[in-house]
Amino acid sequence: MRELKIFCNHIYAGILTEHSKQEYTFSYDVGYFINPSLPAISLTLPKSQKSHTSQYLFPFFTNLLPEGANKKIFCRLCKINEEDYFCILSALEGKDIIGSITVKTH
């Protein structure tokens, strides 16, 4: 099991968990959820007290990953399997990601 802390505009929003290659969950932090001024991180991941589940890494998160030649170079430099999207997302910790989302490992 691997986990990433997800931040939206530098505010802790929730936790993304890979239970297996076929089971992923995203859960909003209670403090983030109860604050009405904080938006959902994505239209596809609306604010909810229940965990969002998926059989694959949520498209919202895969869309944050580098693509094409940039992905190949990034994976080669970081020694990451190009098919391990969760690991690639983890490796983006502290790097510029498109939009307001940042990730941190525990």
Q: Indicate whether 106 pLDDT > 90.
A: no
Whether 64 contacts 98, CB under 8 Å = yes
Q: Indicate whether 84 pLDDT > 80.
A: yes
CA dist., res. 52 & res. 36, Å (int)? 19
Average pLDDT over residues 13-35: 95
Render pLDDT for 32-66 as a digit per residue (tens, 0 to 9): 999 999 999 999 999 999 999 999 999 999 988 88
What is the pTM for the complete model shown? 0.89
